[in-house]
Homo-oligomer: A and B are copies of this chain.
Amino acid sequence: MKYMKKSFANMEPYHSGLIPEGIILNANESPIAPPKCLVDEFKKAVNKIEFNRYPDMDEVKLNEAIAKHYGINPNNVSCGVGSDELLDVMFRATLEVNDKVLGFSPSFSMYQVFTELVGAKYIPVYGDSNMIFHVDDMIKAIKEYNPKLVLICTPNNPTGQYLSKSDVRRIIESTDALIGLDLAYIDFAKEDYTKIALEYDNVIAFKTFSKAMALPSIRLGYAISNKDNIDMLNAIKAPYSVTTFTQMVGEIAINHFELYKNQIEEIKRERERIYHTLKERGYNIYPSEANFLYVLMDDSKNELLIKNKIYIRKFKSGVYRITVGTKSENDSLLEVLK
């Protein structure tokens, strides 16, 4: 690519390829649509769109709805195109070339991309021989490398490991570095401790409408932090990035978050069923507090799944992530993974 700057020479255009027909368990999507009464409201909202006007660039009503959900101030909220946009903005706002970024590994692959985009250095902190992360290892690495930014994804994508509130506190309190606390999957875990971000100067929590709220189609995420950090994100992020329809849908959905409780519980029950079934069958599967499961298995198993039009995520040979599907989808999966 002639005009690409030299330091990006290894970047390649990413293509997801054709979406196959079948059982799609590869993108950590919700297998269940949002509650029908909400979808009806989303459809009605379209009638209120002024198509020829820009969206509200301050996302006032949406920020207020999110703030109300947590009982916090709208000044502590900023919305973006998925949490991806806000994570990217955090990297751009805070990192100089060659600054260090720490994160557990494996984790959400975009952290490394965002790091490369700003010319910083991503330093992975690995789990033990069982791929379990330890807080003490992270604290030790922070002391050793003195990073500007530390990423904590909990429950972690793709391994599913959950760090408790007190574990996260120990990391936060060990450093003055900024902590990006990615809670995309926390609604499937024991406790949602999003508001911990407001107890410290150095924490920005990231949440999304794409997982528990079953709305990846609208591309909406948000950051929660103290006003100083939110002002920083707002100073750097692009104006008007969240569309009018997305703002409307997001507001309706979070105002009725309680309607999602049943489907979240169903996904958690199904997750446990898949875990225990495959565990009993001798699979090397990891406990998860998210809507997916990490499994090390022979590639021939995946080929069998594909033959049955069941698509899970392959990271590399032998390393897979299965998104929890509906009961019947999971039945089909378990039928194949004997």
Q: What is A's interface to B at a CB cutoff of 8 Å?
A: 1-8, 11-16, 19, 24, 27, 29-34, 39, 42-43, 46-47, 49-58, 81-82, 84-85, 88, 92-97, 117, 178, 201-202, 210, 214-219, 228-229, 231-232, 234-236, 238-246, 249
Residue of B nearest to A202 (CB): B3
State A30–B210 Cα separation when bound (angstroms): 32
Q: A3-B178, A3-B229 are in contact. Are A54 and B216 (CB under 8 A)?
A: yes
Whether A39 contacts B51 by the Cβ 8 Å rule is yes
Q: A29-B53, A43-B47 are in contact. Are A4 and B217 (CB under 8 A)?
A: no
Whether B56 contacts A19 by the Cβ 8 Å rule is yes
Q: A16-B57, A46-B43, A238-B81 are in contact. Are A215 and B51 (CB under 8 A)?
A: yes
State A19–B7 Cα separation when bound (angstroms): 43
- CB < 8 Å: which of B24, B32, B54, B92 contacts A217? B54
Whether A94 contacts B219 by the Cβ 8 Å rule is no
State A22–B91 Cα separation when bound (angstroms): 39
Whether A30 contacts B55 by the Cβ 8 Å rule is no
Residue of B nearest to A39 (CB): B51
Whether A216 contacts B2 by the Cβ 8 Å rule is no
Whether B245 contacts A1 by the Cβ 8 Å rule is no
Among A4, A85, A217, A228, the most chain B Cβ lie within 10 Å of the Cβ of: A217
Residue of B nearest to A24 (CB): B53
Can you list 24 contacts pairing A with B, beta carbon distance less than 8 Å? A1-B228, A3-B93, A3-B202, A3-B232, A4-B232, A5-B94, A5-B95, A7-B96, A8-B235, A12-B235, A13-B234, A16-B56, A16-B58, A33-B51, A33-B52, A42-B46, A51-B214, A51-B215, A54-B216, A84-B238, A216-B240, A217-B244, A219-B241, A245-B245
Least CB distance from A20 to B in Å reads: 13
Residue of B nearest to A10 (CB): B235
Q: A46-B42, A52-B34 are in contact. Are A1 and B229 (CB under 8 A)?
A: yes
Q: A13-B231, A58-B15 are in contact. Are A8 and B51 (CB under 8 A)?
A: no
Residues of B within 8 A of A228 (CB): 1-3
Q: A16-B57, A52-B34, A228-B2 are in contact. Are A238 and B93 (CB under 8 A)?
A: no
State A4–B233 Cα separation when bound (angstroms): 9
Residues of B within 8 A of A5 (CB): 93-96
Whether A218 contacts B245 by the Cβ 8 Å rule is yes
Q: A43-B46, A218-B245, A245-B217 are in contact. Are A94 and B236 (CB under 8 A)?
A: no
State A325–B259 Cα separation when bound (angstroms): 43
